[in-house]
Copies of this chain bind each other. A is one copy, B any other.
Amino acid sequence: MTQTYSLPQVQVALPPLERFEEYLQSRKMRSTRQRRVIVEEVFSNHDHFDADDLLDQLRQSKSDEKVSRSTVYRTLDDLVDAGLLRKMTLNGRTVFEHDYGYPQHDHLYCQKCEQLIEFHSNELEAIRAAVGREHNFRVTGHRFIITGICSECQVARRPVRPLDLI
């Protein structure tokens, strides 16, 4: 039942860690215990997080695998360079989210619960392109965030975050 003839090689997405090691090799950087631990932790769930969140998570998981704060910062930047993570500023906080193997999307940001909701819009891509064309601007990316109150918070009576820093 096993097929032994070879199929045309399909571009299958590598697991994040492997993808990262590929990147490291290409830059003559080393695959260290810390880097591996960080990548595993980062891709173990799909939340948005900042350096501190990650540090906390690392401390909670297998306690023997310590990683210093500086290494977390350094590796997070490497992961962005490698295209595994996206970095953005939200309300003054630097937050990261998965980029590698993750579909393009934008965010709704609730000013009460501070939750980020993802959405995708094809029309947005169109606008982006049109605006670029109009201004003879070579578009390489964008960031779009809609602020307001999410459905759950519309009933709850919680204070709205000042929100000047989106």
Residues of A within 8 A of B (CB): 77, 80, 86-89, 92, 94, 108, 110-111, 117, 119, 121, 123-124, 126-128, 130-132, 134-151, 154, 163-166
- A150 to chain B: which residues have CB within 8 Å? 135-137
The answer, among B89, B126, B138, B146, for a CB contact under 8 Å with A148, is B138
A127 touches B123 (CB 8 A): yes
Q: Are B132 and A137 in contact (CB under 8 A)?
A: no
Q: Out of B138, B149, B166, name the residue touching A143 (CB < 8 Å).
A: B166
A142 to chain B, nearest CB (A): 5
A72 and B87 alpha carbons, distance in the complex (Å):
29
* Bound CA span A127–B117, Å: 16
B126, B134, B144: which contacts A119 (Cβ < 8 A)? Answer: B134
- C-alpha spacing A142/B142, complex, angstroms: 13
**Chain B nearest Cβ from A138, distance in angstroms:** 4
Are the CB atoms of B146 and A142 closer together than 8 Å? yes
**Closest CB of chain B to A88's CB: distance in Å?**
7
Please judge, given known A-B contacts A144-B142, A146-B128, whether A108 and B123 are in contact too, CB under 8 Å: no
18 CB-based A-B contacts, threshold 8 Å: A80-B164, A87-B164, A88-B165, A88-B166, A108-B137, A119-B134, A124-B127, A127-B127, A131-B146, A135-B151, A136-B151, A137-B148, A140-B149, A141-B148, A142-B144, A142-B145, A142-B146, A144-B145
